[in-house]
Structure 1
Amino acid sequence: MKVKVISRSVDEFTRERSQDLQRVFRNYDPSLRPQEKAVEYVRALNAVKLDKIFARPFIGALDGHVDAVSCMTKNPSQLKGIFSGSMDGDIRLWDLAARRTVCQFPGHQGAVRGLTASTDGRILVSCGTDCTIRLWNIPTTMESDDSTKSTAEPASVHVWKNAFWGVDHQWDGEHFATAGAQVDIWNHNRSQPINSFEWGSDTVISVRFNPGEPNLLATSASDRSIILYDLRMASPVRKMIMMTKTNSISWNPMEPINFTAANEDGNCYSYDARKLDEAKCVHKDHVSAVMDIDYSPTGREFVTGSYDRTVRLFQFNGGHSKEIYHTKRMQRVFCVKFSGDGSYVISGSDDTNLRLWKAKASEQLGVILPRERKKHEYHEAIKKRYKHLPEISRIAKHRHLPRPIYKASKLMHVMADAKRRKEEKRKAHSAPGSIKTQPLRRRRIIKEVE
């Protein structure tokens, strides 16, 4: 005689990490759930409201400098390490996890204007207004001991005839470029530049190497120009002159043909290096000059720091910022960086502090259980599905702004509307075709010089 017995495992009918909660099996047949859209809409609305409730982007401040923080760079070999330089010549290596100084690099007699690290994480290059370039050996470990911080000595010092305003290292190679009266290309083992580029007589204020092509670099100068150089050629490649000065440039690490320029007029302009006659996108919202810009390692967003004392996060193809970070004590922001994993943002400002922010304001810190992670993913999915609806869009876009920023942005909107109405009236009362208005993506470019 055969006896058939139904055997079921207890794990299949109980939720993880608990033996008392029964697992619920759902039938996803649409005909059985006529109120599915209404229920999901309410869930999306609640998810957006929860994001506002839990939006606490500010994590902490790193206090140690005694003068304004002028530049920063990441440590390629340490995820939690970042270097900062100040106006008094002090350079520090910070441990972001412990929020303390690991090592101090004294030596510059004036302001530190540029910091960069080699790709292997061994050499730190600094330059400043004292006409010197200093190479430092980066500590291999970041001890967690809370004793007094160590002090390093420069491995080599190169004295030059002009002050420096920026420096950047090749993503793959031993060369680094400095910006000053001209663009100089240096090698780790040489005390003199191996090559120099000059196009015009004005000061070069920023330089950035391309992450995909090691020999290509972009610079911006005080004559409002953006210039592309190739180390394999004896002369510069392309030059473009804008209506206002560009303070900083950042390449998209995932799309190395595209770069974004932080401009003095409060906007950022994204360009394709192959076609410089118009911007791919204009990123607006700042009410004062944008001082620095840095892309996330994912290439999907970038962070900007402005003279209006705010930090903003933009989508790589978004015309307006998706987040704005500010505190009462934070002054003019001179430098910003994404962390190596893209989860955090570091800003350096005129009040001598470095501030650590979350890249996603409402992100939950700490260990996240599998059920919590599934819940967050579900909330993100339904918010994306219903983001076009008016109420959800209104709540998601709303930001509390400081009163000066709010008044300045309102005034800029009034001025832009008045200018638009004036152009429309002038075109309406003129002969057809006599007045041509350029689109916003081309309006800020004066000319392109081959």
Structure 2
Amino acid sequence: MAPPGRHRRTTVDPLAVSPRQEERDHARLAKIHCKVLKGHSDAVTSCHFCFDDTKIISGSCDGTVKLWSFKEEHVGPISECCLSPDNKRLITASYDKTLKAWDTETGKVLWSVEQDGLLTSCDISHDGKYVVSGSDMENAICLVDAVNAEQVACIRGHHRSTVRRCRFDPHNQRIATVSSDMSIKFWDIIAQSTTISVEKAHTNAISDCCFSLNGHYLCTAGWDEVLKLWDVRTGEFRSHGPIVLEQGHIGIIGCCVFSKDASLLVSGGFDKTVVVWDLNQAYKKISLKGHDHWVTDAAISGNKKLIVTSSKDCTLRLWNIENANEIPVVIQAIRARGSKVAKCEECEKPFLIFQEKEDRVETRCVFCRLKAHKSVLPVPPSLPADL
């Protein structure tokens, strides 16, 4: 016991703070916001501000340099982004109901347009003049001047359900849209009216669509597990229907994209796979597996050697398919179908021939055959001479 009249001496930690002081410090520090930038896989050795303090550049022992954008101009998820033909502007559509154009060199926002409803898709015309966006409010599409951000047109009730995708055709004459209502619509920019409407194009919602670079075909990807190729140049689908690509995915197909020469098609699905289709004979060439969640988007390089895919698993994957024809699985699939490579006599591009009939050998690829095929209309009977 301590002697009478004296207090017990206690040991005090000079670094300790009182509970009240700790609460005050926590409240003060809580007002200092911090955003963690994750992406490097080893020690980060250098960091700098750049582009007028709108971005950060970092270097790491993992051998990579990364450019970070830390200004959160969108306050909601970005549904889609696309580049202008000259690569100088980036267009983004967001669930925060805004459509924005960015300068790709400086990272600055050039303009921002507020629209009604969550924006589900966006695209920029091939001449860089217009931007189109799809909105879930009244299932509308809106056309905006890409330079001065003025609204050119807003078509409300364009579909009966959510607009999933909107795409300019390569000739900048019309916009193709697909929707959860299972329909495809073409809106003419000059006439400012819907010129073609394909009802029940799929048996379930349509997730995505894309044009071939020559504008001849439109591909649609559906929740009904199939892809469809529509001959929109000649309108041949009206009499003969689309080319159907099936048995490639199990479940919803979420995205699709043509190669520049339309000889390949890449699709991604909710089954976590990426499928490469050979369009000369409309069959599945190879299935790529590796993503841990559904595939949200895909792109293919101009030389058809590389494919990049994005996924809900928070990753991008870069696939090298240059030597795909040398993979045993692909060779076996080709042999099993009894095929051989030939040169199209019309477009002079290589395509696979499948010997289904010995007395008939195709000399043109499927695209040239469809292009040449025309429906024959019956000749009306002649009128009597006395009428």
Give the TM-score category using the shorter length.
Answer: 0.5 to 0.7
- What is the alpha-carbon distance in structure 2 between the residues aligned to residue 206 and residue 215 of structure 1? 17
Pick from 251, 260, 279: which aligns with 1:288? 251
Q: Percent identity?
A: 19
**Cα displacement (A) at 1:201:** 4.0
Does residue 184 of structure 1 match 2:149?
no
- 2:213 counterpart SS class: coil
1:217 match: 175
Which of the numbers 197, 207, 220 marks the counterpart of 1:247? Answer: 207
What's 2:294 paired with?
Answer: 332
Gaps of 5+ in 1: 1-62, 66-90, 141-151, 364-375, 394-450
Contact 1:170 1:176 (C-alpha < 8 Å) held by counterparts: yes
Larger relative contact order (CA 8 Å, sep ≥ 6): 1
Contact 1:240 1:276 in 2 (8 A): no
Give the CA deviation at 1:268: 0.1
1:271 maps to a residue whose letter is W
User: Residue 283 of structure 2 aligns to a residue in which SS?
Assistant: coil
Equivalent residue number for residue 37 of structure 1: none
Deviation at 1:176, TM superposition (A): 1.1
- Whole-angstrom CA distance in 1 between matches of 2:150 and 2:335: 61
Aligned twin of 1:205? 164
CA gap 1:258/1:192 in 2 versus in 1, 3 angstroms: same
Distance (whole Å) between structure 1 residues aligned to residue 197 and residue 81 of structure 2: 25
| Number of matched pairs | 270
Q: 1:347 aligns with which of 291, 302, 309?
A: 309
Distance across 2 between alignment mates of 1:299 and 1:293: 12
Question: For residues 351 and 299 of structure 1, do their structure 2 counterparts lie closer, same or farther at Cα, with a shift above 3 Å needed?
Answer: same
Distance 1:282 1:232, change over 3 A: same
> Which deviations, in whole Å up to 9, do the C-alpha atoms of 1:364-389 show, x marking residues without a partner?
xxxxxxxxxxxx9xx9xxx99x9975
Instruction: Provide the residue aligned with 1:275 in structure 2.
Output: 236
The match for 2:267 among 297, 300, 304 is 304
Residue type at the aligned position of 1:239: S
Change (3 A) 1:343 1:196: same
Aligned mates of 2:121, 2:127 — CA distance in 1: 19
Q: Which amino acid aligns with 1:106?
A: E
TM-score where L is the length of structure 1? 0.55
Distance in 2 separating the partners of 1:233 and 1:361: 47
Secondary structure of the structure 1 residue equivalent to 2:194: coil
Contact 1:265 1:288 in 2 (8 A): yes
Pairing 1:19-418 to 2, within 5 Å after superposition: 64=39, 101-104=66-69, 106-139=72-105, 152-180=107-135, 181-198=139-156, 199-211=158-170, 213-242=171-200, 243-254=203-214, 256-273=215-232, 274-277=235-238, 278-284=240-246, 285-327=248-290, 330-362=292-324, 390=336
Q: Give how far 1:347 is off.
A: 0.6
Shift of 1:190: 3.3
Task: Give the aligned residue type for 1:178.
Answer: S
Q: Distance in 2 between matches of 1:208 and 1:388?
A: 34
Is 1:197–1:236's contact at 8 Å kept on the other side of the alignment? no
Read off the aligned partner of 1:351 and give its amino acid letter: D
Change (3 A) 1:102 1:241: same
Residues 281, 317 of structure 1: 8 Å contact kept: no
After TM superposition, give the deviation of residue 157 of structure 1 in Å.
Answer: 1.6
Quote how far apart the aligned CAs of 1:392 are: 8.0
The alpha carbon displacement at 1:252 in A equals 1.0
Please tell me whether Structure 1 or Structure 2 has the larger radius of gyration of its CA atoms.
Answer: 2
Helix, strand or coil: the match of 1:244?
coil
Shift of the alpha carbon at 1:246? 1.0
Residue deviations 1:192-235, cap 9 Å, x none? Answer: 41112343442211011111x11222100121110011101131
Q: Is the 8 A contact 1:218 1:228 kept in 2?
A: yes
Measure how far apart 1:103 and its partner are.
4.8
Q: How does the TM-score come out when normalised to structure 2? A: 0.63
TM-superposed CA distance for 1:293, in Å, is 0.6
Shift of 1:248: 0.4
Which structure features the higher share of helix residues? Answer: 1
CA distance in 1, matches of 2:322, 2:165: 28
Name the CA distance, whole Å, in 2 between partners of 1:305 and 1:102: 27
Alpha-carbon distance, 1:359 to partner: 2.9
Q: 1:197 to 1:343 in 2, by over 3 A?
A: same
AA paired with 2:227?
Answer: C
SS of aligned partner of 1:237: strand
Aligned CA-pair RMSD: 3.1
Aligned to 1:68: none
Checking the alignment, whether the CA contact within 8 Å between 1:332 and 1:350 is kept in structure 2 is yes
Q: Which runs of no fewer than 5 residues in structure 2 stay unpaired? A: 1-37, 41-54, 58-62, 340-387
Distance 1:248 1:240 in 2: 15
Q: Secondary structure at the match of 1:155?
A: strand
* Aligned equivalents of 1:216, 1:268: Cα separation in 2: 22
> By how many angstroms is 1:136 displaced?
0.6
Aligned to 2:378: none
What letter corresponds to residue 250 of structure 1 in structure 2? C
